[in-house]
Structure 1
Amino acid sequence: MHEVSTAAAAVGTTKPPAARHPLAWVPTLYLAQGLPFYAVALIAGLMFKSMGVPNEQIARWTGLLGFAWVFKALWSPFLELARSKKRAVVTFQLLGGAGLASVALALQLPGWFALCIALLAVVSLASATHDIAADGLYIASLSAKQQAAYAGWQGAFFNAAKFLSLGGLVILAGYLEKRIGIAPAWTVVFALLGAALVALGAYHTWALPGTLTVRTAQTDSLGSIAATLVDVIRAFFAKKGIWLGILFIILFRASEGQIQTIGPLFLRDARAVGGLGLSTAEVGAVYGTAGTVAFLVGSIAGGYFTSWLGLRRAMPWLILAMNLPNLVFWYLSAAQPESLPLIATALGVEMFGYGFGFVGIILFIMQVIASGPYQTAHYALGSGFMQLGFVLFKMVSGDIQQALGYRHFFLWVLACAVPVLVLTRFVRLEAETNSQGQV
């Protein structure tokens, strides 16, 4: 998530006076960014679980779909051929909504699994491209101080899409599964996801700032944009300490990529195989109540906490908070509690930690990796590596879980947090400066 267009960083953007407060559009912009992402990354997995697809296939195929977010920086500069960032954002929101609605139709057809994967690939590409335009609009329309102030809101509502989906829509799916059948139930869910994204696109025709891209010699043709991209990539890998920074980004999401994939499947799986045996509706209930509130509070608090303490001093605490979910899931797998309120409370702790800690990687990329020339372009590349860490560990998580069982899998995920903590002693956590002390 949170990738931005390349050429914008190279040439700048025009910034008309803001007609609306950022809170009128930042939350909904990142809600629209999160809906298709989590539809692919999590909701599709729960649907496939209900329809009998094995864990390892769910992890592998949904992981492959995530590569759209890994490589999107490579086509990000070509979006600068679009004069209006706002128009690009709205276009890809509407396209993503149409793709999600098409998944609903595919569930009624023969060969539904292959069709769903193909349509979700289209949604992934549309959503990844939307993210470039959305993050470019965010950075171009807000000052550096505003970017930091609204980072918590940004992260909160991107991930709020997860809990709105896992909460209300999954509860609805569980209710409908018992009454109209599994495939019809998920048809309704994906139709609603598509409708929600289309509605957000319609709202954003009014709410988004009309930030325009400045057209120069660097953005007036495909050839000049391609040349700019080559220069952007060269400058990115010339940064001091960049390879250690990339390793830090990838490992930061190693535990998350695995826990966010296997955790919901663990909640659904039968107790006889180490799961908690929750129904689809119960999973939706625990994530949609305490989980939603705890995540929103944690994410907003993490932004203000980091703004107050500074990134270097805050980072170890953010990493520890990010790994609270791993400890929570290990406890649940060891104790296998039957009390739904107790499970909901534990998942509330998980979501608070996840929301609080996720701010760390966003600000690390924004303030450290993306500092200097080509700021938004390098943010896009850094965020691509962030998604790569998530996808790589997501893809193998099903096979690891099958080999270790749930309890030992969650211990393994806890161990995955150690390397990134060690790296905080060595990685650069401040923006690089030149000899005159300028960023």
Structure 2
Amino acid sequence: MSTAAATPDPSSGPSGPEQPPTRRAGTVAWTASTYFGEGLPWSILHQVAAEFFTAAGLPAREVGFTSALHFTSSLKFVWSPIVDLIGTLRQWIVATQFGLGVLMAVLAVLAHNMASGAGSGTAVIWLVLIAIGLFSATHDIACDGYYMTALGRPDQARYTGIRVAAFRVAMMVGSSGLVFLGGRVHWLAGFGLGALLMVGLAVAHRVWLPRIHAARPVVQSSGDAAADWRARIAHIRGAYFSFLLQPRAVIVLLFLLSFKLGDALMFGMSKVLFRELGIGTDDRGVLNGFGTAASIAGAMLGGLWVARVGLQRALMPIALIMAGGIPLYLWLAAPRLPADIMLGFGAPLSLAHTLSPPLWQVGTILVIEQLCGGLATAAQTIFIMSRCHPDHKAAHFAFATAIYSLAQTISGTYSGFLYEAHGPLVYFSIAAVACVPCVVLIPFLRQNS
């Protein structure tokens, strides 16, 4: 009783020297469309759902529960080897996009009923959101594996800016466009448009997403079901252990946990700081637009930088640039100390706000920090891809992203408690210091050639 030798899978899987489409425009198109498909469900889960619950008048604690939906991404490494092993990455992309569209359509109906007073609570909505999170995480596994399989390492770096930019554009569509429709027209229209976009992507990718070809180890049937399942389990076990047993695995894990940790802390409370500086919702929306554009530009520049000089030469300066952007928030937080003293003596809030920096200074610092963060996002993505073994690219990428996602989720969940306990000056000082460990670890990393 033995399994057959591994044979090439003619469709897709993360391994081997698969060839990208020969036309650059085609590569840009499918990179942008697939990662737009990653970003839109993320926005539905973490931006649009929170806006809907807020508009429905739910208490803050339930609105805050949307942060817990990040754990579906943090746990995706559990089933990522199955995506490597069963079917093709192209099939997984199309199927999960269609499933996401159906789930968003169900969410649209439930949101409509709740907003119209015909719903019976939020329990079913939460179940649908969890299902969207699971489908979204599975789509991420397949999409990342497809990208790494279809493109060689130089092209992976070159197109990283495109993938990050497409993801951020999808975030803008969700947090701006869908929320606007939900508030101005109805939430049925907001979530419904999201459903149509995902189904449209599924149909489009079913037609023109390139069928990549590569050899990857798959377990063929031996006629013995027990032996076949043992082989599959061995493949899954090998996916995890091969990542954990790579050279300097402990340093790699610590780096993944610490890189962008300061950026996550900053992001968690930056909007609260802006509100305390007297910046209204409309102005914050404008600032967020400029910030997102800056992060897209930073991601594209970061991808080009790494493609030009290599990851080993680019990683340290990019980490230092990222670390240098976060202390700028101390400049914005500094006026809060005398403002709090004035409020303590009974001064009106409008008088305390006169100490706040002007809007153009806030916007300038936000744009600079987001540009630095975009550079770091590109470098982080390329670093993770460089640590993925050819036989387990999708599983390894999911495992690595789950590690840093878990660290950022936990830090973001407790950021409010830290901010309220110590105030903005101490909080953003901690965020700045949190950038130091990853900088210290970089010299101990050794990249794969």
CA shift digits 1:119-175 (9 cap, x unpaired)? 2211110000001111121122222222221122122222332233334445x26xx
Q: Distance in 1 between matches of 2:85 and 2:388?
A: 23
Q: Distance in 1 between matches of 2:316 and 2:124?
A: 43
Report the counterpart of residue 69 of structure 2 in structure 1: 65
Name the larger-Rg structure.
2
Q: Distance in 2 between matches of 1:127 and 1:34?
A: 9
Report the counterpart of residue 126 of structure 2 in structure 1: 117
Q: Distance in 2 between matches of 1:145 and 1:425?
A: 22
Report the counterpart of residue 301 of structure 1 in structure 2: 301
Superposed, which structure 2 residues align to 1:250-265 within 5 Å?
250-265=257-272
- Count of residue correspondences: 407
Letter in 2 for 1:86: R
Choose the corresponding residue for 2:89, options 81, 85, 96.
85
Superposed, which structure 2 residues align to 1:22-421 within 5 Å?
22-51=27-56, 58-59=63-64, 61-80=65-84, 82-107=86-111, 108-109=113-114, 110=119, 112-170=121-179, 172=180, 177=183, 184=186, 186-211=187-212, 218=219, 222-267=229-274, 269=275, 274=276, 276-279=278-281, 281-288=282-289, 290-323=290-323, 326-335=326-335, 337=356, 340-367=359-386, 369-371=387-389, 374-421=392-439
* Structure 1 residue runs without a partner (length 5+): 1-6, 432-438
Q: Distance in 1 between matches of 2:27 and 2:80?
A: 24
CA gap 1:377/1:230 in 2 versus in 1, 3 angstroms:
same
CA displacement at 1:216 relative to structure 2: 5.6
> TM-score of the superposition, structure 1-length normalised?
0.81
Which shows bigger deviation, 358-367 or 394-403? 394-403
Q: Does the 8 Å contact 1:167/1:287 carry over to 2?
A: no
Q: Distance in 1 between matches of 2:45 and 2:265?
A: 15
Determine if the alignment matches structure 1 residue 430 to structure 2 residue 447: yes
Which shows bigger deviation, 371-380 or 69-78? 371-380
CA displacement at 1:370 relative to structure 2: 1.9
Q: Distance in 1 between matches of 2:147 and 2:67?
A: 27
* Structure 2 residue runs without a partner (length 5+): 1-11, 222-227, 336-352
CA gap 1:371/1:217 in 2 versus in 1, 3 angstroms:
closer
Which shows bigger deviation, 124-133 or 329-338? 329-338
- Look up the SS of the partner of 2:219 in the other structure: coil
CA gap 1:362/1:114 in 2 versus in 1, 3 angstroms:
same
- Look up the SS of the partner of 2:327 in the other structure: helix
Q: Distance in 2 between matches of 1:42 and 1:325?
A: 24
CA shift digits 1:375-425 (9 cap, x unpaired)? 443233222212222222122223222323344322322221122222223
Which shows bigger deviation, 230-239 or 399-408? 399-408
**What is the aligned-residue identity percentage?**
25
Q: Does the 8 Å contact 1:83/1:212 carry over to 2?
A: no
- Look up the SS of the partner of 2:13 in the other structure: helix
Report the counterpart of residue 8 of structure 1 in structure 2: 13
CA gap 1:58/1:13 in 2 versus in 1, 3 angstroms:
farther
CA gap 1:115/1:375 in 2 versus in 1, 3 angstroms:
closer
> TM-score of the superposition, structure 2-length normalised?
0.79
CA displacement at 1:228 relative to structure 2: 0.3
Q: Distance in 2 between matches of 1:157 and 1:334?
A: 35
Q: Distance in 2 between matches of 1:409 and 1:111?
A: 40
CA gap 1:293/1:40 in 2 versus in 1, 3 angstroms:
same
